[in-house]
Amino acid sequence: MTYLFLPVEVKVRELDAKMLLAYYAAQEGFRVVIGEQTAVERAALELPQGIFFAKGYPDRYRSRVVKKMKAKGHRLIELDEEGLIMSDRNHYLEDRMNKSSTKQFDQIYCWGTDQKELIESHIPNQELILTGNPRFDLLKEKFRPLYKQRVKSIQTSYGSFILLNTRFSIYNPKKKNNQNEHEQYDYMKQLFQHFIKLTEAIAREIPYQTIIIRPHPSENLHTYQKRFESYDNIVIAPFGNVIDWILASQVIIHNGCTTGLEAFLLNKPSITYMPIEDDRYDVFLPNQFSEKATTIDSVLDAIQNIETIHPTRKQHNILDHYVASWSAGQAYEKIINALKQLNVQPKQSSSSNTLQIKKSKKAKYRFSRLSEEDLKQFFKKINQIEKKSSSFQIKPLGQDVYEITLR
């Protein structure tokens, strides 16, 4: 059996997709190690040679990972979680596709044609495979049953609500780090203040409607909690998978957030609030899949008329260019087919029975606990969808990291 190492950095964003890939990879005979990013990296240095599935990193961190995994003898592949939406394409290439580290990868998987062509222009001879991302497999009708129970629970708890997603970590970071020196700081400060005023206006003008705010994982929650503590109809909810929240909502509001595209793929109406615009910092892709509003009044009007928001042919054409495997096939299938081409011949190493891997303490806010039961329940639901009765051996290797094989 070939080891496949699947690190997860941001649990609420990446875990379900990695569990989906783990399910089907185990079906194909892979021995999958999945869990918190640093814990999986540590496990990969203790276990036999296999395939390390990098999730994309800034260059300094990426270079360290590449060096360690290459020294261990692993084959290296990557599907960059940040490869779909890039606010600065030149910076993306310099920081996340640095030539020296990129050339160490055996394969790089691409979200869509746009990312593939961009990387090709930067590194012409790199092996790039158009796969799409399993995160978007999960948005298809086939996998909606995965979310049914959780969506119902959210709707029972909060009733009808507007979902407001933010991305202001440059201005409102979890940890202060001289962020005011960032080139986007003033832009994000203005946008943040506009969103605060918008939220308060919706709360006043539509008092019967609950507003759920989901801050970016890197943002400071207390900023929102303190600002809106006097509003009974505003809730800060940083927990749970965003797909659950989108499906449970009436409409979502964002600016340049991936959830705008995810809502489109889930057939949920969305509004992109753009009270200020700057070509240097506006995020093109997700804004193309939402109703554009530039004033508070236009947002309120769009909320009252969400039934008139419908997909256009232009949006579908853009989708085909940026997102592979949406119209045909599944990303996880294309990835597993590519993995098989690597033909890894593992050497013997220490037994996984003796491992007691620990994750980094710094990972706490990005990755809460992962239990064996979480994995079992997810696989059980996929079995129901696939009408199978597959049984998996799930072996803990330490804190929040597990080895999965098909029985």
pLDDT tens across 151-187, in order?
999 999 999 999 999 999 999 998 887 777 888 999 9
Q: Which two tokens stand for residue 92?
A: 């993306």
pLDDT averaged over every residue in the chain: 92
Distance, in Å, from the CA atom of 10 to the CA atom of 56, rounded to the nearest integer, reads 12
Same fold, 3-137+330-406 and 157-318: yes
Question: In the sheet that 210-214 helps form, which strands lie side by side, from edge to edge?
Answer: 234-236, 210-214, 161-165, 251-254, 270-273, 291-293
Residue 379's pLDDT is what? Answer: 97
Q: Which of 200, 295, 303 is nearest to 253 (CA)?
A: 303
- First and final C-alpha spacing in the chain: 12
Q: Which of 7, 65, 76, 24 is nearest to 388 (CA)?
A: 24
Phi, psi of 188 (to 5 degrees): -70, -35
Residue 334's pLDDT is what? Answer: 97
Largest CA distance in the chain: 66
Q: Where are the domains of the chain?
A: 3-137+330-406, 157-318
Residue 346's pLDDT is what? Answer: 64
Distance, in Å, from the CA atom of 270 to the CA atom of 251, rounded to the nearest integer, reads 5
Distance, in Å, from the CA atom of 58 to the CA atom of 35, rounded to the nearest integer, reads 20
Residue 348's pLDDT is what? Answer: 55
Q: Which of 198, 192, 145, 190 is nearest to 168 (CA)?
A: 192
Angle at 198 between CA 226 and CA 86, to 5 degrees: 95
Residue 239's pLDDT is what? Answer: 85
Q: Which of 407, 392, 202 is nearest to 295 (CA)?
A: 202
CATH code for the part of the protein at 3-137+330-406 = 3.40.50
Helix axes 89-96, 113-122, angle to 10 degrees: 70
What is the chain's length? 407
CB atoms within 10 A of CB 220: 18
pLDDT block averages, 10 residues each, the chain of length 407: 94 93 97 96 95 95 95 96 89 93 96 96 95 96 94 96 95 83 92 98 96 92 96 92 94 95 95 95 92 97 89 90 89 97 71 61 67 96 96 95 96
Q: Which two tokens stand for residue 99?
A: 């030539």
CATH code for the part of the protein at 157-318 = 3.40.50.2000
Q: Which residue has the tokens 């062509």?
A: 117
Angle at 292 between CA 289 and CA 298, to 5 degrees: 145
Residue 361's pLDDT is what? Answer: 61
Residue 366's pLDDT is what? Answer: 65
Q: Which two tokens stand for residue 7?
A: 């690190």
